[in-house]
């Protein structure tokens, strides 16, 4: 045996003279794995694979075996014999049941998830490539723990633990995306992000106000876009890599193309990304469901006259189409191992798209009774761009070990156009927001057991609002009442500190405080609306904090608990908006608002059984006081007003509600010899109580119970996934008071609105031709079920065939 062993070592050393480079890839996809730690068994030699998963192993010529380590993958030990036989190709397998993962959401710095006392769900770029979500809203839905509401196909409003819209926070590359006009109704800003340019998504459940400030009540959705990669080789020529993708799907005639290119040098790196997507009208299912969901008619305008015409194919949701373009450019400069400077530019623009839930509302009185109310109701192009500059310094100093400074300037533009049936004037309302921000985050390891994280934040939003009426025949344009006070500003400033203390090797304690101050300034134009004031200023401060622990009983058993407070400061949308929320109800400004405050308790655990089974569960209770909700309001002595020719009951946002939400999230994963089972389930129960009532009513954004179950099989270079997605039922008594007025719901046998339970069966398959080319295909909603998710204004997709081709270079 010694002779054979010596012979193989001799052959290994001899072969190194000709081929000194090995390549490490993921076993199924055959994609290169950068950052793999490669070492000899006795740790005599240690090295890391480059951006192509390659490594010069000349230094390992005397080793009889080599060990390969990478977070999220099973460790691999390869003998010299196997290395030669496999032609220096090493395949690593995913550790699908790993407890320890790297996360950045909770502390703004990289941290192991087994040291974080919160539930965090991670969606990788690999998951996105396999599931093929069309938008970033759909991407969030693939997690199985986020419920997504849609008023139209060009939208997607995520719900986390009974909270949504301006009570959850969107963060992209460390910059908050929420603005001063994020409303309590549904928002679709998340679709501005390109799902194909997102490297990693992390969803932090529960209050995140300690690190992120206002709005982070229900949770934080943190998106990390593509990171430029340096060349780790000694060659002076740049290393160019990239990805290309083409995808089509049948339900909405999707045509999507994507290209990203990375150019890496020793000290400079660049990444460019471009995506173009075109979506036709969405076809819904045809089996089961409620006849109310079929699109029976729509409006056509011919020679300046409106006609209600029958829809020849009632499963085709006429007017739901739109298209979108995304572009991103990043550059990173690393002059030394301590300093790094980066710049990023993001650009996103959609076409105009209809607010679909308005297009099927019928008139119940007047000269056009039983006709559609709206001839037109659409959003103008949704535009977003961001300039981001970052600086990172990593060096042990008196005040910090790591420092990160991020400044950003964002520009948002959104508009809405509406015209009622046979009305000759088209109303336009347009808003622009300029959002400037600065974040400074530092961390310092005080002792071997204690680390301090601290920082500051400054935000300023400038809101401009415009409105006019255009006569569709003469083209005459006249000004009208704006949605928000033009030229208003919203500012927020915050200081935070968080301490992590490692009591023992198994017990971690986390605690921190944040003080935030906000100010709103607005001037009101009384030309078109009888405001009892012409200007106002609101300012306030709030203190919040969190305390939690993580107990890791063993490598396979982890428990955590967390208590946290958070807040949401009133914004321009809360304080100064004038709009028709639902037909017959007009929302007006209220200048006496104060912050909402939330208190949350959470406990959870994760348990693995070898490499076979993983189970996790988290329970939580959330209490929100001084909640801002729309309620009947006395404005200037009036309870009703004539708005744009329609008698409307007056409402306003008011701090009059108490909200409580409790629930749990659970997941199970099984993996055995290529077979996998993954199931997720979320249950939430939300109630709100008004100050003028002792009765608790259902909370609008507390979705029905929902979840998914995936049965997967992976064999060599092929992966299969047969899965079900399901939602529970919500009867009339389970709907919030505002949802009971929503015309998007079907009616039960008693004529009352309700949301039906539903499930879909789906299938996906991926074939990895080699490390450069892969093909995916699938069919969603195999049974072609007709259904409309809770609170949504558009039917979900019917049977949908998907095919995509991806190439790496």
User: Residue 12 pLDDT more than 60?
Assistant: no
- Could you tell me which residue, 102 or 148, shows the higher pLDDT? 148
3-state secondary structure of 77: strand
As a whole number of angstroms, the distance between CA 303 and CA 452 comes to 69
Residues 217-251: tens digit of each pLDDT:
999 999 999 999 998 766 678 999 999 999 999 99
Q: Which band of pLDDT confidence, cut at 50, 70 and 90, is reported for residue 103?
A: low
- H helix intervals, 205-298: 209-212
Burial of 366 (0-12, 13-18, 19+ CB in 10 A): exposed
User: Residue 100 pLDDT more than 70?
Assistant: no
DSSP string, 163-187: EEGGGSEEEETTEE---TT--SS--
Residues 6+ apart with CB under 8 A from 786: 284, 285, 286, 287, 288, 289, 290, 293, 294, 315, 795, 798
Domains, the chain, in order of start with CATH, read 2-92 (2.60.40.1120), 239-566+592-628 (2.40.170.20)
Residues 424-462: tens digit of each pLDDT:
999 999 999 999 999 999 999 999 999 999 999 999 999
Residues 752-805: tens digit of each pLDDT:
999 999 999 999 999 999 989 999 999 999 999 999 999 999 999 999 999 999
Mean model confidence pLDDT for the chain: 92
Overall average pLDDT of the 688-715 stretch: 92
Structure-block tokens of residue 127: 């998951």
User: Residue 61 pLDDT more than 90?
Assistant: no
Between the two ends of the chain, the Cα-to-Cα distance in Å is 43
Overall average pLDDT of the 560-575 stretch: 95
Say what the pLDDT of residue 583 is: 67
User: Residue 731 pLDDT more than 60?
Assistant: yes
Indicate the pTM of the whole model: 0.92
pLDDT over 70, % of the chain: 95
Say what the pLDDT of residue 576 is: 85
As a whole number of angstroms, the distance between CA 254 and CA 441 comes to 41
As a whole number of angstroms, the distance between CA 655 and CA 537 comes to 17
User: Residue 2 pLDDT more than 60?
Assistant: no
Strands (E), 111-165: 111-112, 120-124, 147-149, 157-160, 163-164
Q: What is the CA radius of gyration of the chain?
A: 28
Overall average pLDDT of the 590-594 stretch: 89
Q: Which band of pLDDT confidence, cut at 50, 70 and 90, is reported for residue 150?
A: very high
As a whole number of angstroms, the distance between CA 594 and CA 606 comes to 38
Overall average pLDDT of the 365-382 stretch: 96
- Could you tell me which residue, 268 or 629, shows the higher pLDDT? 268
What backbone phi and psi angles, to 5 degrees, belong to 292? -60, -25
Q: Which helix (H) or strand (E) holds 5?
A: helix 2-16
User: Residue 17 pLDDT more than 60?
Assistant: no
Q: Is 371 left (phi over 0), alpha (psi -120 to 50) or beta?
A: beta
User: Residue 675 pLDDT more than 90?
Assistant: yes
Overall average pLDDT of the 387-391 stretch: 99
Q: Which band of pLDDT confidence, cut at 50, 70 and 90, is reported for residue 272?
A: very high
As a whole number of angstroms, the distance between CA 271 and CA 729 comes to 45
User: Residue 745 pLDDT more than 90?
Assistant: yes
Q: Are 179 and 334 in contact, with CB atoms under 8 Å apart?
A: no
With residues binned 3-state (H G I as helix, E B as strand, rest as coil), the percentages for the chain, rounded to 5, are: 10, 55, 35
**Would you give the distance in Å from CA 386 to the centre of its chain?**
17
Task: Label residues 511-548 b or e (16+ Cβ within 10 Å = b).
Answer: bbbbebebbbbbebeeeebebeeeebebeeebebbbbb
Burial of 6 (0-12, 13-18, 19+ CB in 10 A): exposed
Residues 621-658: tens digit of each pLDDT:
999 999 998 888 988 888 888 876 778 899 888 998 99
pLDDT over 90, % of the chain: 75
- Could you tell me which residue, 339 or 104, shows the higher pLDDT? 339
Say what the pLDDT of residue 10 is: 45
User: Residue 14 pLDDT more than 50?
Assistant: no
Q: Which band of pLDDT confidence, cut at 50, 70 and 90, is reported for residue 82?
A: confident
What backbone phi and psi angles, to 5 degrees, belong to 730? -130, 110
Q: Which band of pLDDT confidence, cut at 50, 70 and 90, is reported for residue 690?
A: confident
Say what the pLDDT of residue 104 is: 53
Question: Could you give the dihedral angle defined by the CA atoms of residues 8, 10, 15 and 21, in that order, rounded to the nearest 10 degrees?
Answer: 80
């Amino acid at each position: 045996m010694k002779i054979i062993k010596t012979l193989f070592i001799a052959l290994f050393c001899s072969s190194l003279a000709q081929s000194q480079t090995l390549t490490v890839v993921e076993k199924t996809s055959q994609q290169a794995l950068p950052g793999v730690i490669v070492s000899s068994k006795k740790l005599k030699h240690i090295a890391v694979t480059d951006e192509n998963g390659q490594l010069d192993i000349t230094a390992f010529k005397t080793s009889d075996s080599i060990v390969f380590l990478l977070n999220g993958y099973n460790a691999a030990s390869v003998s010299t014999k196997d290395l030669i036989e496999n032609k220096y190709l090493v395949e690593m397998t995913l550790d699908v049941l790993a407890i320890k993962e790297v996360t950045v959401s909770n502390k703004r710095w990289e941290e192991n998830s087994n040291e974080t006392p919160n539930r965090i769900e991670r969606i990788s770029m690999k998951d996105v490539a396999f599931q093929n979500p069309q938008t970033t809203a759909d991407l969030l839905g693939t997690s199985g723990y986020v419920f997504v509401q849609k008023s139209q196909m060009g939208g997607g409003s995520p719900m986390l633990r009974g909270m949504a819209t301006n009570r959850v926070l969107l963060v992209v590359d460390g910059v908050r995306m929420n603005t001063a006009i994020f409303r309590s109704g549904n928002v679709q800003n998340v679709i501005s992000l390109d799902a194909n340019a997102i490297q990693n998504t992390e969803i932090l459940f529960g209050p995140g106000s300690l690190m992120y400030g206002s709005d982070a009540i229900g949770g934080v959705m943190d998106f990390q876009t593509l990171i430029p990669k340096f060349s780790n080789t000694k060659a002076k020529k740049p290393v160019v890599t990239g990805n290309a993708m083409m995808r089509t799907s049948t339900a909405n005639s999707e045509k999507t193309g994507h290209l990203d290119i990375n150019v890496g040098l020793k000290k400079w790196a660049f990444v460019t990304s471009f995506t173009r997507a075109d979506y036709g009208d969405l076809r819904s299912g045809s089996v089961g469901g409620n006849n109310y969901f079929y699109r029976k008619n729509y409006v056509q305008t011919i020679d300046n006259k409106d006609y209600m015409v029958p829809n020849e194919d009632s499963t085709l949701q006429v007017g739901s189409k739109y298209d979108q373009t995304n572009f991103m450019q990043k550059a990173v400069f690393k002059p030394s191992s301590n300093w790094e400077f980066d710049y990023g530019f993001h650009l996103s623009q959609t076409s105009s798209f209809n607010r679909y839930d308005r297009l099927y509302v019928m008139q119940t009185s007047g000269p056009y009774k039983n006709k559609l109310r709206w001839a037109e109701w659409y959003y103008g192009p949704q535009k977003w761009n961001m300039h981001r500059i970052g600086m990172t310094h990593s060096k042990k100093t008196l005040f910090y070990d790591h420092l990160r400074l991020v400044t950003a300037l964002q520009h948002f533009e959104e508009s809405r156009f509406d015209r009622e049936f046979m009305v000759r004037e088209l109303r336009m309302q347009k808003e622009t927001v300029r959002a400037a921000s600065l974040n400074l985050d530092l961390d310092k390891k005080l002792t071997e057991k204690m680390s301090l994280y601290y920082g500051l934040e400054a935000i300023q939003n400038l809101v401009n609002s415009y409105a006019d009426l255009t006569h569709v025949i003469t083209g005459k344009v006249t000004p009208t009442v704006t949605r928000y006070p033009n030229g208003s500003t919203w500012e927020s400033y915050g200081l935070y500190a968080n301490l992590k203390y490692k009591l023992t090797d198994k017990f971690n304690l986390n605690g921190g405080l944040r003080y935030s101050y906000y100010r709103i300034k607005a001037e009101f134009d009384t030309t078109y609306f009888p405001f009892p004031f012409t200007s106002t200023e609101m300012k306030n401060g709030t203190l919040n904090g969190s305390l939690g622990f993580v107990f890791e009983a063993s490598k396979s058993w982890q428990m955590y608990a967390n208590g946290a407070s958070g807040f949401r400061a009133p914004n321009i949308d809360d304080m100064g908006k004038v709009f028709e929320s639902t037909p017959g109800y007009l929302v007006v400004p209220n200048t006496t608002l104060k912050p909402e405050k939330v208190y949350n308790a959470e406990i959870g655990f994760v348990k693995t059984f070898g490499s076979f089974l993983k189970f996790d569960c988290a329970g939580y209770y959330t209490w929100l006081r001084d909640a801002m909700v729309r309620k009947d309001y006395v404005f200037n002595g009036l309870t009703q007003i004539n708005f744009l020719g329609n008698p409307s009951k007056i409402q306003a946002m008011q701090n009059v509600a108490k909200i409580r939400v409790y629930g749990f999230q659970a997941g199970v994963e099984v993996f055995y010899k290529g077979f996998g089972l993954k199931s997720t389930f979320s249950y939430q129960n939300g109630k709100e109580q008004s100050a003028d009532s002792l009765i608790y009513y259902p909370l609008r954004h507390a979705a029905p119970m929902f979840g998914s179950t995936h049965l997967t099989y992976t064999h060599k270079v092929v992966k299969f996934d047969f899965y079900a997605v399901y939602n529970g039922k919500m009867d009339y008594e389970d709907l919030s008071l505002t949802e009971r007025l929503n015309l998007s719901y079907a009616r039960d046998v008693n004529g009352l609105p309700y949301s039906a339970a539903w499930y879909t069966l789906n299938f996906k398959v991926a074939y990895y031709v080699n490390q450069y080319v892969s093909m995916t295909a699938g069919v969603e909603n195999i049974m072609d079920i007709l259904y409309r998710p809770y609170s949504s204004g558009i039917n979900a997709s019917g049977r949908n065939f998907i095919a995509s081709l991806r190439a790496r270079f």
